[in-house]
Structure formats: C-alpha cells, structure tokens
Chain A
Amino acid sequence: MKKVYLIDDDDIFVFLTKKTILKVTANVDVEVFSDGLQAISHLKQIKDQPELLPDVIFLDLNMPVMDGWEFLAEYQEIYSSFAKENELYIVSSSISPHEMERSKGINAVSEFIIKPLVKEKFLEILESL
C-alpha cells in the first residue's frame, strides 16, 4: 500500500485527482491537506514513523495561509531527517516559466507537473518508486 499526500485547497481538483488515482490502482492511500501549514505540521509530528510517512507528495503552489513555496522552505529543512524517503512533485495550474525556474532551484522537488495530473503520469510516478 503506497501513501500519497495531496496538498491542495481546490476541493474539486482534489476530488478529481483522487478519482484518477483510484482508476490506476486501488492499492493507494490518499491523504488530503488543504494548505501548506496543515501538511507541514502533520509531517513534523510523524517524521519518525515510517509507516505513516508518505511515498509521494503532490503539492499545489497557490494556497491560503501557507502557500506551496512557504511549505517548501520549511520542508527543505526537515525532509532529510524523515524515517522514510519520499518524492515530492509540484502540481500547479501555473504555466509561469518564472515559477518553473524557481522550482528547479529546490532539491526536494522531483518535478514540476502542470495540472491536471493524468493517469499516465501517475502510473509512471508509481512505477518509479
């Protein structure tokens, strides 16, 4: 059972992405956080528990309270101390070259995916784990 985190404030996108994931495989557990602060607080709590830590994180950029960039700033500090390795993908509706460039400077980011997250892409990610 793989564990996937979806950090996104857009309810409908979350609903649809969950559906997409379930179409690929039923063997995935999806947890949803509606902003960066909720996600980072949770990660800090469970960072020593490999059975609770995610395999993949899908992170939106534009969110209230703590946006994707603020989340990444804190995530960068702690992810190497996690009890389990994981991959992080930015999933954003932004097509701004500036934001894509910015994401390349962050080690923790595996790839910048432009929404939507399609079945084929998710399958590829799942197989690479």
Chain B
Amino acid sequence: MINLPSLNNEADRIAALYVLEILDTKEEAEFDNIVKLASIIAHSPIAAITFVDKDRIWYKSKQGLDITETPRDADTASHYPFFAAIPIIVNKNLVIGHLSVAGHDALTLSQEQHKGLALLAQQVVTLLQLRLPVINNSIKEFYESILNNIPTDIVVFDSEHRYLFANPGAIKNEEYRKYIIGKDDFEYAAYRNRDPELAVARRAQFLDVKNSGKAIGWEESQKDPEGNTITFLRRMFPMHDEQGNFIMVIGFGIDITERKLLEEKQSRIMEQLAIQNTQLIDFCNVVSHNLRGPLINMAMLAEFIQEEENMEEQKLMVSKLEPVIDNLKNTFNELVESIQIRQDNSIELDRLNFSSCLQETIDALYEEITKVKAKIVVDFDEAPVVLYPHKYLASIFYNLISNAIKYQSPERQLSVNLASKVIEGNILLTIEDNGLGIDLLKHKDNIFKIGKVFHRHPDAKGLGLFMTKTQVEAMGGKIWVESEPDKGSKFSIEFVNQNMNW
C-alpha cells in the first residue's frame, strides 16, 4: 500500500511545483538516468519519477510502464506486490512528487537500498533546481524586452557607478550601448570624445543617492543634435539587498519637452490674459468716464434747450453741444484704435528709418512746433534703422512729441532730444524733453494707464501714453519713463528682436 507522505498545504505545494515548470515537459536523459539507477538499486523492473498536480499524477520519467499520467486518486500501488515511493521535497516540507519503484515479486528494501533511493530523490530536486537558471533567463528576457521598448531612459549602476544596464531609450546606438556595460560615465565621455562635465555632475548625483540612501529627482535641459532644447525629468534611486546593503542605483529619465513647451505657452497666455484683463477693466472705466461723461452732458443740454424760453440762452447752449460732440467723437475713435492694436497680432514689420519716420511726425505737427519754437535734436547714428510696424512707430513719435509740446514749461524754450542705441541685439529709443515733468512718486502706477491725465490742459484725455504702451508691448517691447516735476521727462522704448545685419 502506498504510504504517501504528507501532501498537506496544497496551495503552497502546487505553487512550488508550477514555478519549476516541469509538468508536461519532454523526456530528459538526466531524469531517465535517475529512474534507471533507482531500478538497479531496488532490483525492481519498474521505476518512475512522478509529480502530483492538482488532480492528476504526471510521469516525468518511467521504466517498465507505458503511461504518462493517472488520476490523482488512482491506486497504482495496489497493482504490485512490491511498491515503494520516496517523496520529492522542495522548500523543506512541500512534497511535489515521488521517486517510486515497484516489482512483481514481493520484497523488502534493505537500509542501504532505501538510503540510495532517498539520495536519488534528492538528486531529482537538484536537477529541478538546475533547470531554474533557464527559467531565470526567460524572465530576464521578458523584463529586458519591456525595458528596451518603453520610451523612457533606464540605466542601472553598480555600487561603484559602473553601468550594469542601459536601455535603447538611454543609448540608442547598439555599439555604444554594449560598450558602456561595466564602464562609468568618465570612460564613456572619453570614448565618445565628449566633455566630462556631465560625468562630473552625474557622479555627484550618484554619490548623493549612495550616501543618503534616498531617491533624487531633477529637471534637465539639453540640446539635441538639431539644436532643439529637450527637457528631461530625471530620477535616481538606490537599491538595497535584504540585509540593507547598498547594491545598485537605478536611474531613469522621461522626455517632458512637450509638456514643458505647453507649460511655457500656458504661462505666456496667462500673463497675456492678466494684462488684457487689467486693460479691459481700465478700458471699461475709461468708456464709462470718457464716453458716458459727454453723453450725459449732451442729454442735459438737450433737455435744457427744450425747456429754455430765452432765445439767447438757447443759442448759448446749442453752441456748447458742438465741443461735446467733438470730444465724444475723438474719444470714440481713439478707443476703437486702441482695441485694434490689441487685436492685431499678425501686423507686419517694416524696415524703418528713424529719421524719415520722425520727419513725418514733424511735418504733421509743423504748426504746433513752429508756434512754440521747439528745438528738436536728433542722434540716430548708432542705430538708424528699426524693424517695426510703420504705423506704430509713427504713433509713438506723434504721441510723445505732441505730449512734449502740450506739457512744455512756460518758463523755457521747449527742447526735445531723440536718440537711438543698440543694446544686446535690441534697440533703445529715448525721447527727452525739458517740460513740466511728472511727479513719479505720486503717479508711478498710473502713468501709462488709460484715462489718466496729470496736467490741466484742454486736450488732455489720458489716452496717448496708454496707446503708446499698448503698441510697444504688442510687439514684445518695453516702455518706461524717468521724470522730475519742472525738469522734464525722458521716455525710453526698447524694441526687441532687432537682429539685423547692418
């Protein structure tokens, strides 16, 4: 009668058996030899190595039999006068199968024979374990094929920062990828004729991870061979063995260039939106004041004209209508123009001569300039040409020079100095006058705001500087002012992206 050693702990037993991947494999000489030896030792014609699956007994190797499997509850032992089974044990106590011998004559095994069979059963386990590297290799291939195909850079370093592994995401060229195994970044930099700068940085990061035992992460930008900036999010983290000893570092990098570009685009849009929002609020205020004001006056005048019985008074009020309407019309036109600037993103750049553009403004303001006997001094020698939309430059000159005339000091002859300079690929235009000036301490935040006027002047509507600023900023440039009351004002305008071949 078969005396099966404990087949307890079925779940663990089956798991241990399946890990070995032995079931339903082909015949193998090594197992067959063990069966032959068992048969010789026990002097019995029949011998087999069997594994106990969930619901069957599967024969890996057999002699004197012609079966490959039986149901698990088959009582094979009772067919033979002699039968002995030695358990095949893994993980100390899990029985996964048996080495069995059987014969047609009843006999008893000597102690020596028993010992021999037990050793053979152990040999089966050894054989099974020898098969494991084959399994390990297929797992290794499995993981490598994943690592080699994901679009992330992955590298593994040993404890001395030498490469154990690099996937094609990290090093595309197969030859370089093979070369680097067992080398460090310094050797690789020398091999590729590269600056060791990056290797120095990487070594510092590696040591940081190794010494702290903690993962680090950072963003890194570099140029690809086409000169485009690519940004990587990189991480390095340490691996420790069961005893807690540092054994290796895994590093990976994800290309976040697209995300980065998107973020930059978004933050530019946000900035633009914030500016536009402020302008919109300013715009609403100026609409409510500059347009609503004259409208109320018109409505009141109309009402009074109707009520008035005195003809002279009526005439007086009708005469007051005209300036109100003119004021309304001008304000309206300027508002429309300032909206158009902000909508006009695709305006074309012209190659402009500062002198000739200024001359147009001087011609347009000829009457005013001669009336106040203004002195205009020009020095455009260093930067005579600018890339800019013609109507914007004309409007900048017009607004700033007419402001200078409007707010000149009554105590001295007006002089306006204009100059242009090249500064780091940009052009700086300065327009300086000796007029009334602006108290910047008081008006710093308001100077370029819509609807702000700083002097008592009938034409002051507060749109000029706002419009000039809008035009300058629409092209990516900057405008600022230095001023002192009763000394004068100096406006500076920076024109960007002026990389011209002079």
B456 near A13 (CB under 8 angstroms)? no
A1 at the interface (CB under 8 A from B): no
A19 near B304 (CB under 8 angstroms)? yes
Q: Closest Cβ of chain A: how far from B358's Cβ, in Å? A: 28
B288 near A64 (CB under 8 angstroms)? no
A86 at the interface (CB under 8 A from B): no
A116 near B300 (CB under 8 angstroms)? yes
B299 at the interface (CB under 8 A from A): yes
Q: How far is the CA of A99 from the CA of B293 in the complex (A)?
A: 16
Q: Which residues of B contact A95 (CB under 8 A)?
A: 288, 292
Q: How far is the CA of A93 from the CA of B296 in the complex (A)?
A: 8
Q: Which residues of A contact B324 (CB under 8 A)?
A: 12
Q: Report the tally of A-B residue pairs with Cβ distances under 8 A.
A: 56
Residues in B277-307 with C-beta less than 8 Å from chain A: 281, 284-285, 288-289, 292-293, 296-297, 299-301, 304
Q: Which residue of chain A lies nearest to B320 when distances are taken between CB atoms in the complex?
A: A12
B300 near A16 (CB under 8 angstroms)? yes
Q: Which residues of A contact B451 (CB under 8 A)?
A: 62
B455 near A64 (CB under 8 angstroms)? yes
Q: Which residues of A contact B455 (CB under 8 A)?
A: 64-65
Q: How far is the CA of A70 from the CA of B301 in the complex (A)?
A: 30
Which of B288, B299, B453, B456 is in CB contact (< 8 Å) with A96? B288
Q: Closest Cβ of chain A: how far from B421's Cβ, in Å? A: 33
Q: Which residue of chain A lies nearest to B308 when distances are taken between CB atoms in the complex?
A: A19
Q: Which residue of chain B lies nearest to A118 when distances are taken between CB atoms in the complex?
A: B300
A93 near B457 (CB under 8 angstroms)? no
Interface size on B, residues (CB 8 A): 24
Q: Which residues of B contact A103 (CB under 8 A)?
A: none
Determine chain A's interface SS by DSSP, over half rule.
loop
Interface hub of A9, A10, A62, A96 (most chain B Cβ within 10 A)? A62
Which of A12, A15, A19, A35 is in CB contact (< 8 Å) with B456? A35
Q: Which residue of chain B lies nearest to A61 when distances are taken between CB atoms in the complex?
A: B289
Q: Which residues of A contact B284 (CB under 8 A)?
A: 96
A34 near B293 (CB under 8 angstroms)? no
Q: Closest Cβ of chain A: how far from B317's Cβ, in Å? A: 9
Q: How far is the CA of A102 from the CA of B293 in the complex (A)?
A: 20
Q: Closest Cβ of chain A: how far from B451's Cβ, in Å? A: 6
Q: Closest Cβ of chain B: how far from A104's Cβ, in Å? A: 18
Q: Which residues of B contact A9 (CB under 8 A)?
A: 456
Question: A-facing mask of B124-139, CB < 8 A → 1, else 0?
Answer: 0000000000000000
B323 at the interface (CB under 8 A from A): yes
B456 near A10 (CB under 8 angstroms)? no
Q: How far is the CA of A10 from the CA of B299 in the complex (A)?
A: 15
B460 at the interface (CB under 8 A from A): yes
Q: Which residues of B contact A116 (CB under 8 A)?
A: 296, 299-300
Q: Which residues of A contact B300 (CB under 8 A)?
A: 13, 16, 20, 116
Q: How far is the CA of A81 from the CA of B300 in the complex (A)?
A: 37
B186 at the interface (CB under 8 A from A): no
Q: Closest Cβ of chain B: how far from A51's Cβ, in Å? A: 29
Q: How far is the CA of A119 from the CA of B130 in the complex (A)?
A: 109
A93 near B320 (CB under 8 angstroms)? no
Known: A93-B289, A93-B292. A64 touches B304 (CB 8 A): no
Q: Which residues of A contact B457 (CB under 8 A)?
A: 64
Interface hub of B296, B324, B451, B454 (most chain A Cβ within 10 A)? B296
Question: B-facing mask of A83-115, CB < 8 A → 1, else 0?
Answer: 000000000111110110000000000000001
Which of A16, A20, A99 is in CB contact (< 8 Å) with B297? A16
Q: Closest Cβ of chain A: how far from B349's Cβ, in Å? A: 36
B292 near A64 (CB under 8 angstroms)? no
Q: Which residues of A contact B281 (CB under 8 A)?
A: 98
Interface hub of B297, B299, B301, B460 (most chain A Cβ within 10 A)? B297
Known: A93-B289, A93-B292, A96-B288. A13 touches B453 (CB 8 A): no
Q: How far is the CA of A96 from the CA of B285 in the complex (A)?
A: 7
Please give me the 4 A-B residue pairs with the lowest Cβ-Cβ distance, nearest first: A64-B453, A93-B293, A93-B292, A16-B300
A12-B301, A34-B456, A64-B453 known; 12 new pairs, CB 8 Å cut-off, are: A9-B456, A12-B297, A13-B300, A19-B304, A70-B442, A93-B296, A94-B285, A96-B284, A96-B288, A115-B292, A116-B299, A116-B300
Q: List 6 A-B contacts (CB under 8 A).
A: A12-B301, A13-B296, A13-B300, A20-B300, A95-B288, A99-B285
